[in-house]
Structure 1
Amino acid sequence: MLWNLGENGAMTSNDTALARAVAPSDIARYRAAFASDVRLKVAQNAVTKNSVDEIALDRDVVMSIDHSMSHVLDKHEATNQKRSGRCWLFAGLNVLRSNAAARMNVKNFEFSQTWLHFWDKLERANYFLEAMLATADRDVDDRTVAHLLANPIDDGGQWNMFVALVRKYGVVPKAAMPETESSSNTGQMNRALRTVLRQGTRDLRALHTAGVGDDEIAERKDQVMAAVYRVLAIHLGTPPESFLWQWNDADGTFHRDGQLTPVEFAEKYLGADLEDYVCLVHDPRESSPQGRTFTVEFLGNVADAPPVTYLNVDIDLIRSLTAASIQDGEPVWFGCDTGKQAQRALGYWDAALYDYGSVYDVDFSLTKAERLLHHESLMTHAMVFTGVDLHDGVPRRWRVENSWGTDKADKGFWTMNDSWFGEHVFEVAVHRSRLPEELQQRLNEQPITLPAWDPMGALARGR
C-alpha cells in the first residue's frame, strides 16, 4: 500500500480499498470488547478517581525497597538545579566536590554551577553561530538547519562539554558566583538568547547570500556575541576574574589562599585529571556497532575543544566498570532516561515499578533498542552514582546523587534497582585505564558521525 498526502493535506492511498478511516462498526467493536471485560471496568473506576501511577504501582516492588548499600561514597548534601536543565553541570561538579572537600578539610563544599553555566551559554552561542555559517548554503528548512534553529541554546550538555568548560575556564566556589533568579529558573533568559541568536542567524545568512567579505560577517557575528554576553551578565551576574579564597575547615582552623583565578583554583583543588575520563554508552541499535566510537554532528559548546566522542560497549561492561570505580572511591557521572519507571516520593527506580500493562491490558514490549528507534526513549538527565550494593561481587542496586534538592528520596539520594540500570542507563564517564587494552586502542579511531537529531545527543538538548 502506497500512502501520500492529497492536495488538502489529507492522507490518501493508491489502494483505496485499504485506506480505511475509523468506522462506526470499529467503535462498536471496541466499546463491546471494553464493556465485556470486568478488569477494564475496575481499572476505569480506579483511574478516573486516582493517578494511573498510583494504581499501577507494584506493591511487591515497593515492599522490596531497601536503601542500604555495601559501598557508599557520599557524605555531603544533595544539590538543587531547580527549574533549569543544568543536570550535567551539577553532576560533573558533584563528581569533583568530594576531592575538593577533602583537600580543604571541609564537610559540605559546593562549586558554583552558575560560573560554568555562564560560560557554557556564551560558548554555545558561538558554537551555534559557527554552525549556522557552516550550513549557510542550505535552506532553512533543511533538516539539520531546522533542528539547530529549534534548539539554539538549551541548558543540557554532555560530559565532554563539561570537561571543555573546566579546561578553559576553571571552577570557583559557590560563594564566588552564587545562584541568581535566572540560573535557577532559566526560561526567560533562554527565551531572550534564542531570539538574539535567531536574529543573528538571519543577518549572517543574508550577508553570506549577498557575497560580502569574511570581515563583515565576522563583525556582525561579534555584535551578536556581545549581545549574548550582555543578556548573560544581566541575568547571571558578571563572572569574577579572580576572587579572595579563605575558609574555616572542619576542625575550626582558618585558611587563606589569597587572590586566585578560577583556573588556579581548579589546578589546586580539583584533584582529578579530567583528560583521563572517557565516555561509554550502551546503544543497542543494529546501526551502532559495539566497540566503535561515535560523535553527533554539531554537538558541542567550545568550538576549539575536542569533539564530543563516546565508545559504544555492552551494558555489562558499563555495569562492571561503574561498580569498580565506586569500590575504588570514585563517584561516576552518568546519563539516563530518568522519567521511566520512577517514583519521586520513594526516590526509587525499578524496571517493573509500574505494571501499566495490567492496567491497560496492553503488552508494552519495546526493547531498549526499539525504544531508541521509535522515539520512546532517549537520555534526559545526568546524575552521579555514589554507591552500589554488591552481593558476591554482583550489583543488586545503586545509590544515586540527584540534583533535585533534599526533600525527596533519601535526602536527595535515590536508589536504583539493577534491573533499571540495564534498561534505562545509557552513558557513563570513567577512567580510560579501566578499559580493556583493545577498547583503549579503539578510542584512537575516527568516530562515526551520527546526525544532529540522533537520540545519543539528546542529553545536550535539555530545557
Structure 2
Amino acid sequence: MDKSIEPKNITRYANNLNELADANVVRRAVTHNGILKSAADYEANAAMDPIFSVDVSSQHVANQKQSGRCWVFAALNTMRTQVENNFNVPKDFELSQTFTFFWDKFEKSNYFLNNIINTADQPLDSRKVNFLLTTPQQDGGQWDMLCALIEKYGIVPKSAMPETYNSNMSSEINAALNTQLRHDAVILRKLVNDGQSEEIINAKRDDMMNEIYRMLVFAFGVPVDKFNFEYRDADKNYHIDKDLTPKDFFKKYINLDLEEYVSIINSPTADKPFNKTYTVEMLGNVVGGRDVKHFNLPIERLKELTIKQLQAGETVWFGSDVSMDSDRKAGILDTDLYHIDDLMHTDNSLTKAERLDYGESAMNHAMVITGVDLVDGQPTKWKVENSWGDKVGEKGYFVMSDEWFSQFVYQIVINKKYLSPEEREQQTEEPKELAPWDPMGTLA
C-alpha cells in the first residue's frame, strides 16, 4: 500500500530527534568530519598489530594503479612466490600483469561476441541481453578465468612485457573496447536475425576480432611470444635463460598444476546449499577453456583450509568485499573499525546471507592471504598482501580481523589435497548454473 509523507510525520520525526541528548554533538561531528571519521573506533587498531604466528611471505607489494586487475595481481603474486622460493630472484621481482591483461581482454571480447550471437533471438530489453550490453567487457575476473588464460597463453616476467599507460589506467581502453563491441553487437544481431549463414557470421566475427587485436596492441604493445629471461638473483649472481616461450616459462619457473587448485566459496544463502558446486551463466573469458566453478562450504571450513595451506608454506588467493569496514591508509580490515549504527542511533545489522540477497555486499576485490595469527589454535587475525602499492598499510600489507574474514570473505583458492575425501568427491559433481547476475558471479 502506497503512503505519502505528511507534515505531521515530519514534525514527529523532528521531535524525536530533539529528544536525543547527543543529537547536536553528533550533528556537529558528522557535518564537520564525515560519517566514517566520526564513527571510527581507533581503539580497534591496537588489536590489529601486524605480527603473525604463521607468516609465509613478505615479498614486495605490487601496484595495480588505476585499473581493476586485482584478480590478476593476486594470482600472479601467489605464483611469483614460487619463483622467489625456487630461483632466489629479488623481492621486487614481478610477473607481467600486462601480458595476462592483454589476452584476457582479447578473450573476453570474443566471449562477448559469442554471447551476442547466442542471444540474438532475444529482444534487446531481455534481461540477459541488457546484462551483456551494460558491460561488454571489464577489468575484473575470477580464478578459473586466470587459469584458462595461463593454460592457453602461459606467463612471462614483467621485464618481457612491462606496464603501459593503458594497463596502469584502463578506463580509456575499456571505453574504446566497449563502444566497439556494442557496435559489433548491432551488426551480429542483424546478421543472425536476417538469417545469414554461419559462415558469413563467423567471417564477420573474425574481422571484428582482428580489429580488437589491433586496438589491444596499440594500448598494451605486442604480446611477447619468445624472450630471454635475464636477471640477477638476490645474491647478485647473473642468470640468463634464452628463447623461452610463455608456456616454457610457466612450466620451468612456476610449474603449478592448476587443475589441483579449486575455488571454494562461502555463500550462506538459502538458494545455495553447502557442499554443492555452482557455475554462473555467461561468466568466463576463454571460449572452450576452463569453466568457472565454485564449491560452497561453511565459513569455518574456509578458514581451516586456508590455515592448512599457509602452514604448508603456500599463500592463498581470496576474494572479498574490501569496501566494507576498511581503512585503506592504515591497512586494516575489521568489523570493529566503525560504529555507524551507534553514531546514528540506528540498527543496520544484516546477516551475511541478507547482505548478499539484498545487494548490500558482494565480492569486489581479490588479494592474497600470506599469514595468520593463531592463539590456542584459533585464528585471531590474518596477514593480507594487497596490490595497491607500498604506501598504504604496512608497506602494502593489510591486517584482517577474523570476524571480518567471517563476514566479508566470499572465496578462497585451495589445493584439492587439503579437502577431505568426501569434499573432493563433492567438488567433482556437476555444478548448478546460476543466473548471470547472481552475487557469486561478481568479478574481483
TM-score normalized by structure 1? 0.94
User: 1:63-101: CA deviations, max 9, x gaps?
Assistant: 333110001122311000001100000000000111112
Secondary structure of 1:400's partner?
strand
Q: Give the counterpart letter for 1:49 in structure 2.
A: H
- Whether 2:326 is the aligned partner of 1:342: answer yes
Distance (Å, rounded) in 1 between the aligned partners of 2:125 and 2:88? 55
- Whether 2:52 is the aligned partner of 1:52: answer no
Paired position in structure 1 for 2:418? 434
Q: Give the counterpart letter for 1:151 in structure 2.
A: T
1:201 alignment partner, one of 177, 182, 185: 185
Q: Give the counterpart letter for 2:140 in structure 1.
A: G
Is the Cα–Cα contact under 8 Å of residues 321 and 362 in structure 2 kept in the other structure? Answer: yes
Matches of residues 87-236 of structure 1 in structure 2 within 5 Å?
A: 87-108=70-91, 109-236=93-220
Is the Cα–Cα contact under 8 Å of residues 40 and 360 in structure 1 kept in the other structure? Answer: no
Q: Give the counterpart letter for 1:117 in structure 2.
A: F
Q: Give the counterpart letter for 2:76 in structure 1.
A: L
**Structure 1 unaligned runs (5+)?**
1-17
Distance (Å, rounded) in 2 between the aligned partners of 1:302 and 1:73? 32
Paired position in structure 2 for 1:4? none
* Residue-pair matches, total: 443
2:26 alignment partner, one of 28, 43, 63: 43
Is the Cα–Cα contact under 8 Å of residues 336 and 426 in structure 1 kept in the other structure? Answer: yes
Distance (Å, rounded) in 2 between the aligned partners of 1:157 and 1:129? 18
1:324 alignment partner, one of 301, 308, 316: 308
Secondary structure of 1:416's partner?
strand
Paired position in structure 2 for 1:385? 369
Aligned structure 1 segments of 4 or more residues deviating by more than 6 angstroms: none
CA RMSD of aligned residues (A): 1.0
Paired position in structure 2 for 1:75? 58
Secondary structure of 1:155's partner?
coil
Distance (Å, rounded) in 2 between the aligned partners of 1:65 and 1:403? 20
TM-score normalized by structure 2? 0.98
**Structure 2 unaligned runs (5+)?**
none
Is the Cα–Cα contact under 8 Å of residues 276 and 426 in structure 2 kept in the other structure? Answer: yes
Paired position in structure 2 for 1:7? none
Secondary structure of 1:298's partner?
coil
- Whether 2:383 is the aligned partner of 1:399: answer yes
Secondary structure of 2:33's partner?
coil
Paired position in structure 1 for 2:69? 86
Distance (Å, rounded) in 1 between the aligned partners of 2:312 and 2:165? 38
Is the Cα–Cα contact under 8 Å of residues 48 and 400 in structure 2 kept in the other structure? Answer: no
Distance (Å, rounded) in 2 between the aligned partners of 1:63 and 1:40? 29
Is the Cα–Cα contact under 8 Å of residues 264 and 411 in structure 2 kept in the other structure? Answer: yes
Is the Cα–Cα contact under 8 Å of residues 100 and 271 in structure 1 kept in the other structure? Answer: no
Q: Give the counterpart letter for 1:210 in structure 2.
A: D
- What's the offset of the Cα at 1:168? 0.8
- Whether 2:223 is the aligned partner of 1:239: answer yes
- Whether 2:14 is the aligned partner of 1:31: answer yes
Secondary structure of 2:443's partner?
helix
Distance (Å, rounded) in 1 between the aligned partners of 2:443 and 2:231? 36
Paired position in structure 2 for 1:373? 357
Secondary structure of 1:379's partner?
coil
- What's the offset of the Cα at 1:149? 0.9
- What's the offset of the Cα at 1:38? 2.2
Distance (Å, rounded) in 1 between the aligned partners of 2:20 and 2:235? 68
User: 1:108-142: CA deviations, max 9, x gaps?
Assistant: 22100000000000000001111111111111111
Paired position in structure 2 for 1:20? 3
Secondary structure of 1:145's partner?
helix
- Whether 2:236 is the aligned partner of 1:252: answer yes
Distance (Å, rounded) in 2 between the aligned partners of 1:430 and 1:323? 10
Is the Cα–Cα contact under 8 Å of residues 336 and 425 in structure 1 kept in the other structure? Answer: yes
Distance (Å, rounded) in 2 between the aligned partners of 1:257 and 1:120? 26
- What's the offset of the Cα at 1:152? 0.8
Secondary structure of 2:48's partner?
coil
Secondary structure of 1:25's partner?
helix
Paired position in structure 2 for 1:9? none
2:49 alignment partner, one of 34, 49, 66: 66
Is the Cα–Cα contact under 8 Å of residues 40 and 359 in structure 1 kept in the other structure? Answer: no
